[in-house]
């Protein structure tokens, strides 16, 4: 799939390595490149050791905002860095904390990358668009409505400042609504696909904001991993600028479609309970323009919503059973 990328014999750092996307990346790199040396770095602010079940590499506990913790990485020579560490809970309103973790600490990661001559792929977010009119295009309508979104937009500005030193080998990925195996440990910030699936298995119903027509670009974790690896393999050529791409499925789907896909995949009847939306600011439509990343690196989403939900179903059932939900509800 990534013909030009070979990480065997390379040393790879995954920050936020015990988080949802970071852990999936670390495990996938090990499975695809058995001779790669993978270092996972995490403070467990949001991560969980169980997300790294089966991980064979080295784990270093540390906080990206702590110089002493970052110094633990000095004995390595990283060929590649996937920077996933962040406060990703959009409900956090501590502006100083959010900017310190997400933006300021990113400078230290890029200093490390410059010293090691590492290629960098880092996590940005569709939150940079706020309520901008979809489809969402890089360079248009970036107007964050949360400090989280602002911190991610400022990360991209930091990347611009380091692009020349990193010889253009730096790529930001604006993730849209990521879902799939491994996200259970995110708790209340897990995707609505997981939350609605478990809710349906527990109660036979799904609760949606009136009237379920709000739409999102839902992107399956396998496609997110694909995007990361393809962007790591990207050759900057003569263009030494930092690049930013949307990572989504490339289509908006309403929440009602999630319930329909869950009915089909779980094989159960699900009633919908519509409730008032209590949020004064709420994205009613997100949709990633993915043409730039398709053209640049050959990104090709493999999972439309129905296929993603079907692939996710065994884990949704397992989680529901773990939480004490009668599995007999499924066909």
Q: What is the 3-state secondary structure (H, E, C) of 63-90?
A: CCCCHHHHHCCCCCCCCEEEECCCCCCC
44: in domain: yes
Q: What's the pLDDT at 325?
A: 63
296: in domain: no
Same domain, 307 and 265: yes
5: in domain: no
Same domain, 195 and 76: no
Nearest to 301 by CA among 238, 230, 239: 230
Q: What's the pLDDT at 1?
A: 52
Q: Could you tell me the CA-to-CA distances from 126 to 98, 137, 212 in Å, in that order?
A: 16, 10, 21
Q: What's the pLDDT at 329?
A: 45
Sheet containing strand 58-61, edge to edge, reads 58-61, 37-42, 11-15, 80-83, 119-125, 170-175, 243-247
Rounded to whole angstroms, the Cα distance separating 208 from 211 reads 7
Q: What's the pLDDT at 243?
A: 97
* φ and ψ of 249, to 5 deg: -85, -15
Q: What's the pLDDT at 326?
A: 58
* φ and ψ of 109, to 5 deg: -65, -40
Same domain, 162 and 267: no
Task: Return the active site residues.
Answer: 148, 186
Same domain, 79 and 212: no
110: in domain: yes
111: in domain: yes
Same domain, 79 and 191: no
Exposure string (b/e) for 208-239, b if CB count within 10 Å is 16 or more? bbeebebbbbbbbbbbbbbbbbbbbbbebeee
Same domain, 74 and 193: no
Decide which of 200, 231, 247 is a domain's last residue.
247
Q: What's the pLDDT at 330?
A: 42
Same domain, 191 and 103: no
147: in domain: yes
Rounded to whole angstroms, the Cα distance separating 223 from 121 reads 15
Same domain, 62 and 162: yes
139: in domain: yes
Show the domain range for 261: 182-216+250-286+303-324
298: in domain: no
In terms of pTM, does the model score above 0.85? yes
Same domain, 35 and 159: yes
Q: What is the CATH number of the domain that holds 313?
A: 3.90.25.10
Same domain, 156 and 193: no
The mean pLDDT values, 10 residues at a time, for the chain of 331 residues are: 85 98 98 98 94 97 96 95 95 95 98 97 97 95 95 98 96 98 93 96 95 96 98 88 97 98 97 91 89 97 98 96 66 39
The tally of domains found in the chain comes to: 2
Same domain, 273 and 230: no
Same domain, 40 and 149: yes
Q: What is the CATH number of the domain that holds 70?
A: 3.40.50.720
């Amino acid at each position: 799939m990534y013909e030009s990328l070979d990480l065997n014999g390379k040393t790879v750092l995954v920050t936020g390595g015990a988080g949802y996307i970071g852990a999936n990346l670390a495990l996938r790199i090990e499975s695809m490149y058995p001779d790669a040396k993978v270092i996972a770095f995490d403070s467990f602010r949001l991560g969980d050791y169980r997300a790294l079940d089966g991980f064979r590499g080295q784990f270093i506990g540390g906080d990206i905002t702590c110089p002493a913790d970052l110094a633990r990485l000095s004995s390595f020579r990283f060929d590649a860095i996937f920077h996933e560490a962040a406060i990703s809970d959009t409900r956090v309103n501590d502006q100083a904390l959010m900017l310190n973790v997400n933006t300021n600490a990113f400078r230290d990661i890029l200093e490390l990358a410059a010293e090691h001559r590492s290629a960098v792929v880092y996590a940005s977010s569709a939150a940079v668009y706020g309520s901008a009119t979809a489809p969402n295009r890089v360079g248009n309508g970036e107007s964050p409505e949360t400090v989280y979104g602002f911190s991610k937009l400022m990360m991209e500005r930091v990347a611009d400042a380091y692009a020349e030193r990193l010889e253009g080998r730096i790529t930001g990925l604006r993730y849209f609504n990521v879902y799939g195996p491994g996200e259970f440990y995110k708790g209340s910030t897990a995707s609505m696909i997981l939350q609605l699936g478990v809710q349906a298995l527990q109660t036979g119903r799904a609760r949606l904001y009136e009237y379920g027509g709000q739409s999102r670009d839902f992107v399956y974790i396998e496609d997110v991993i694909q995007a990361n690896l393809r962007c790591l393999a990207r050759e900057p050529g003569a263009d030494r600028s930092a690049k930013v791409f949307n990572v989504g499925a490339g289509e908006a789907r309403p929440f009602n479609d999630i319930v329909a896909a869950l009915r089909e995949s779980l094989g159960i009847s699900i009633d919908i309970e519509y409730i008032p939306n209590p949020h004064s600011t709420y994205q009613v439509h997100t949709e990633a323009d993915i043409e730039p990343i398709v053209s640049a690196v050959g990104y090709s989403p493999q999972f439309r919503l129905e296929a993603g939900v079907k692939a996710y179903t065994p884990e949704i059932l397992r989680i529901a059973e773990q939480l004490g939900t009668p599995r007999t509800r499924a066909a």
